[in-house]
Amino acid sequence: MALRTIRTEGDPVLNKVCKPVKEMTDRTRELIEDMFDTMYDGNGVGLAANQVGILKQIVVIDVEDGNQYVLINPEIISEEGTQTGQEGCLSVPEMSGTVTRPQKVTVRAFDENMQEFELTGEDLLARAICHECDHLKGRLYTELVEGDLHNVNDPEYQEDEE
């Protein structure tokens, strides 16, 4: 298990557009394993490669639906409906804010064997896919927050947390 350092808001790497992965290498496989370890260590449900300083289009997601998703060069190809709820990010520690996202999305991506596949997610999975794909474009959820960001430890907002 190898943990990588999570870059936090203000680090310019988080505002950079990531580059497509052309081929799978041992180094990239190791990066993906480390990204899962780092995400679980931070109790996150998703992580994008630029959050650990690597400008590659790689996302890992685990929303506790029994799957570990690796999305390489992901592209959202359809969106349906809307959902409004709390969102946070390992790169913006301790904070949370209200963000509206599609209720359902389909993403086309490559897996860790560079096989193309499509994944349709609803609710939290749809939210995670959108949030992580935004990271790869250099965008943070804080740009989308409706109202104010708040500290998750602020007792005034405890009841908002699910």
Catalytic residues: 132
Give Cα separations from 116 to 73, 77, 113 (angstroms): 10, 13, 9
Quick note: the x/- pattern for Ni ion over 24-63, rule CB under 5 A, is: ----------------------------------------
Q: How are the residues of the chain apportioned to helix, strand and coil, as percentages rounded to the nearest 5?
A: 30, 35, 40
Please state the closest distance from residue 84 (CB atom) to Ni ion, in A. 18
Task: For residue 136, give every residue at least 6 positions away whose Cβ sits within 8 Å of its Cβ, in sequence order, or none.
Answer: 17, 18, 48, 49, 50, 57, 59, 74
Say how many residues touch Ni ion, by CB under 5 A: 1
CA distance 110 to 106: 13
Side-chain half-sphere of 113: how many Cα atoms within 13 Å?
2
Binding range to Ni ion, per CB under 5 A, among 1-9, 69-77, 84-92, 95-103: 84-92
Binding range to Ni ion, per CB under 5 A, among 82-90, 102-110, 121-129, 142-150: 82-90
Q: Which is nearer to Ni ion, 24 or 63 (CB)?
A: 63
In one-letter notation, the amino acid at residue 138 is: G
Binding range to Ni ion, per CB under 5 A, among 33-41, 61-69, 88-96, 153-161: 88-96
Q: Which is nearer to Ni ion, 110 or 141 (CB)?
A: 141
In one-letter notation, the amino acid at residue 122 is: E
Which member of 14, 54, 89, 133 binds Ni ion (CB under 5 A)?
Answer: 89
Binding site for Ni ion (CB under 5 A): 89
